[in-house]
A and B are shown apart, each in its own frame.
Chain A
Amino acid sequence: MGGTVVIGIGQERRGDDAIGLLVARRLAALPPANCRVLEHDGDGMDLLLAWEGADQAILVDALLSGGQAGELRVIDATEASLSAALFSSTSSHALGLAEAIELGRALGRLPDRVLIYGIEGADFATGSSPSPAVLGALDQVVALIREEIDDA
């Protein structure tokens, strides 16, 4: 299979948490060559299956790190271990994203390259829509991911 898989992670109707899904939808409308685009809100165990066979995984998720809403942070998880202290997942899923990556590493089930595109969120209230600051980052994030895939 090879190629890149982009996985947009999020929950609809939980404010900025939906940003990963929105990025995936935008990319899927005009998918880059040799690239699968998935929306995801299952558990971390499914992430392990979702990136199976891909050379590169780009995971897009909302982030809460004390930064400004809409700020993008790209984390290369290929080599560095995501220590629990640094990277705590408040996942509703039984295994979070960071745990899925570490489980993949332990099982030898990680793609050759794993990048996390984290977009800083501010509002995660039930029933709310993504905030303007986060939506404002959408075009830029989609463009950067396209560049990343073209360069790969």
Chain B
Amino acid sequence: MSEAREIKVDYLARVEGEGGMTVKVRDGKVEDVQVRIYEPPRFFEAFLRGRKYIEASDITARICGICPVAYQMSAVHAMEQAFGVTVGGQLRELRRLLYCGEWIESHVLHVYMLHAPDFLGYQDAISLARDHRAVVEQGLRLKKIGNEIVTTLAGREIHPINVRVGGFYRVPLREDFAKLRKELDWALDAAVKTVDFVAGLPFPDFEPQHEYVALLHPEEYPFNEGDIASTAGLRIKKDDFLEHFEELHVRHSNALHGRIKARGPYFVGPQARYNLNRDRLSPIAREAADRAGLGARCDNPFKSIVVRAVETVEACAEAIRILDAYERPDRPFVDYEIKAGVGHGCTEAPRGILYHRYEVDEKGDIVSARIIPPTAQNLPAIEADLRHFVTEHIDLDQENLTWKCEQAIRNYDPCISCATHFLKLEIDGD
């Protein structure tokens, strides 16, 4: 008689949005893996059609409360390409600074509140805070500094409103950054300590082989610009993204699943960036990575917490470099001429590359929009990890295996865009 076993979680805790998973095991073999993502259908792509080019960045920023800057950046870069304009100098630096803020916010949230409790054996950040108050306080203060970068530069910390095609609506004075600059010295030190702290966590032995995909820039650890490259030797311009990558509809999810046309699943995010761009990290981030034992390449997705911590160091160091050299540009944005065309934007959201493509007409109205978020690209890799992990750990008891599977999903910091967040209250004898 065959023995069937099912590992099922209907609602994944500590995942941005709403999702679930089912792993079916029969006779000790994994039969089926499904990660269900309740992503709203492609509402925003339809919503953008007919809107003005200048609205794309603010509309798409609403897709995610955690990474609005990424949506803005991919949108403005796409429009700038369509109009044939390049943003350089201090305006380009300010965009990198804004991205530093978002990476700090997003990575610190994930490292301290979502991922660390897993490794320390806590159900959630609340029980972690009871025993390790100083650790959680350190995370809060770091997060606050990320928020302050975004607020100073973007008008407000959620749904920033100051980014536009060509640059910004207004640019801060040097003195607007004075308090923040002082805080960043503390932040850099705290970020380095964070790497040392998470490097000491216990990690399961698990090294699935993935093809990692990230931006590759000749000199910089990538935020806004670069070719799209992979550890299997792919190297293309962002314009050719849709020639090499596709999204497939699968029955169990209303999010599309990304794949490289020639080969299949791939992996985007901090680990992909690290594996392709380690040499471009600032010395202090690279030293922290070395001390943490990350090596030239990190294949264990459970160690993504260490990579996120290293990237937080990078973001703090880069923010300091930019602020120390900052001179307020004379004009907040560069001029351009609106014309009909197609533009592509591909930038490094905290969770990995975020691709936008727009076609605009001669009046600057959006004819079509395509948005490919990082989590959709990672879904097949997440399912592959679950299949692999359950196969290797089939002897764990149900509760432990279920928890580990949830962790395997959290490794990717999945984000389900634009979800609601009403409170659900179960009333008992009320």
Interface residues of A (CB under 8 A from B): 9-17, 39-46, 48-49, 61-66, 73, 85-99, 102-103, 106-107, 116, 118, 121, 124, 126-127
Q: Is the CB–CB distance between A103 and B125 below 8 Å? A: yes
For B428, list chain A residues within 8 Å (CB).
86
| Residues of B that sit less than 8 Å from A by CB | 11, 14-18, 40-41, 43, 47, 62, 65-66, 109-110, 113-114, 124-127, 129-130, 133, 136-137, 139-140, 143-144, 147, 157-159, 416, 418-428
Please determine whether A49 and B422 come into contact, CB atoms closer than 8 angstroms: no
Asked if A63 meets B140 with Cβ closer than 8 Å, knowing A14-B418, A94-B110, A103-B129, the reply is no
A89-B423, A98-B423 given as contacts; is B137 within 8 A of A107 (CB)?
yes
Given contacts A46-B157, A49-B143, A92-B416, contact A62 B66 (CB under 8 A): no
Return the contact of B147 from the options A10, A49, A62, A89 (Cβ within 8 A).
A49
Q: Are A118 and B425 touching (Cβ within 8 A)?
A: yes
Q: A43-B109, A46-B147, A127-B43 are in contact. Are A63 and B129 (CB under 8 A)?
A: no
Q: Check A43/B125 contact, CB under 8 A, given A88-B426, A89-B424, A126-B43.
A: no
Q: How far is the CA of A64 from the CA of B427 in the complex (A)?
A: 10
Apart from A90-B423, A126-B418, list 15 A-B contacts with CB within 8 A.
A11-B418, A14-B418, A16-B422, A43-B16, A44-B113, A45-B109, A45-B140, A46-B158, A61-B423, A92-B65, A92-B416, A97-B421, A103-B126, A107-B129, A118-B425
In the complex, chain B residues whose CB is within 8 Å of the CB of A89: 421, 423-424
For A61, list chain B residues within 8 Å (CB): 421-423
Give the residues in chain B near A124, CB-CB below 8 Å: 420, 422
> Are B124 and A99 interface neighbours, CB within 8 A?
yes
Tell me the smallest distance from the CB of B309 to a CB of chain A, in Å.
16
> Which residues of B lie under 8 Å from residue A127 when comparing CB positions?
40, 43, 47
Inter-chain CA distance A86–B43, complex, in Å, is 33
Contact B427 A90 (CB under 8 A): no
- Tell me which residues across on chain A come within 8 A of B143, comparing CB atoms: 45-46, 49
Residues of B within 8 A of A16 (CB): 422
Q: A48-B140, A63-B422, A103-B126 are in contact. Are A94 and B14 (CB under 8 A)?
A: yes
Does the CB pair A41–B65 fall under 8 Å? yes
> Closest CB of chain B to A46's CB: distance in Å?
7
Q: Roughly how many angstroms separate A16 CA and B422 CA in the complex, as a whole number?
A: 9
A to B CB contacts below 8 Å, 20 in the list: A11-B418, A14-B420, A41-B159, A46-B143, A48-B140, A49-B143, A61-B421, A65-B426, A86-B425, A86-B428, A91-B421, A92-B421, A93-B16, A94-B16, A94-B110, A97-B423, A103-B126, A103-B129, A106-B127, A127-B47
Taking the closest CB of chain A, its distance from the CB of B108, in whole angstroms, is: 8
CB distance from A74 to the nearest CB of B (A): 12
Contact B16 A96, beta carbon cutoff 8 Å: no
Whole-angstrom distance between the Cβ of B152 and the nearest chain A Cβ:
15
Contact call A9/B113, Cβ cutoff below 8 A = no
Residue of B nearest to A105 (CB): B126
What's the least CB distance linking A137 to chain B, in Å?
14
Tell whether, in the assembled complex, residue A66 and residue B427 are in contact, meaning their CB atoms are under 8 Å apart: yes
Q: Looking at the assembled complex, report how far the CB atom of A63 sits from the nearest CB atom of chain B, in whole angstroms.
A: 5
Is chain A's interface secondary structure helix, strand, loop, or mixed overall? mixed
What A residues does B159 contact at CB under 8 A?
41
Smallest distance from the beta carbon of B111 to chain A beta carbons, Å?
A: 11
The 8 Å CB contact of A93, one of B40, B65, B147, B424, is B65
B114 CB contacts on chain A under 8 angstroms? 94
Cα distance, A16 to B423, chains bound together (Å): 12
B11: shortest Cβ distance to chain A, in Å?
8
With the chains together, A98 CA to B425 CA distance in Å?
10
Most buried by A among B18, B143, B420, B426: B420
User: A45 near B421 (CB under 8 angstroms)?
Assistant: no
Q: Which chain A residue lies CB-closest to B421?
A: A91
**What chain B residues lie within 8 Å of A64 (beta carbons)?**
422-425
Specify which chain B residues have a CB less than 8 angstroms from the CB of A85 in the assembled complex: 426
CA A42 to CA B127, docked complex, whole Å: 22
Give the complex CA separation of A127 and B144 in angstroms: 31
Q: Report whether B133 and A107 are in contact in the complex, using a CB–CB cutoff of 8 Å.
A: yes
Instruction: Return chain A residues, CB-CB under 8 Å to B416.
Output: 92
Minimum distance in angstroms from A68 CB to a CB of chain B: 13
Is A11 a contact partner of B129 (Cβ separation < 8 A)? no
Could you tell me if A99 and B125 are in contact, using CB atoms closer than 8 angstroms?
yes
On whether the beta carbons of A42 and B66 are closer than 8 Å, the reply is yes
Q: Which residue of A lies closest to B47 (CB)?
A: A127
Given A43-B66, A106-B130, the answer on whether A65 and B140 have CB atoms closer than 8 Å is no
CB closest residue in chain B, given A44: B113
The 10 closest A-B pairs by CB, nearest first: A92-B419, A126-B40, A65-B425, A62-B422, A91-B421, A106-B129, A17-B420, A42-B158, A41-B65, A92-B421
Partner of A62, one of B11, B65, B129, B423: B423
In the complex, what distance in Å separates the CA atom of A90 from the CA atom of B14?
10
Q: Which residues of B contact A126 (CB under 8 A)?
A: 40-41, 43, 418
Q: Are A86 and B126 in contact (CB-based, < 8 A)?
A: no
**Complex CA–CA separation, A88 to B124 (angstroms):** 14
Task: Tell whether, in the assembled complex, residue B422 and residue A121 are in contact, meaning their CB atoms are under 8 Å apart.
Answer: yes
A84 to chain B, nearest CB (A): 9
Q: Are A41 and B125 closer than 8 Å at their CB atoms?
A: no
Q: Which residue of B lies closest to A107 (CB)?
A: B129
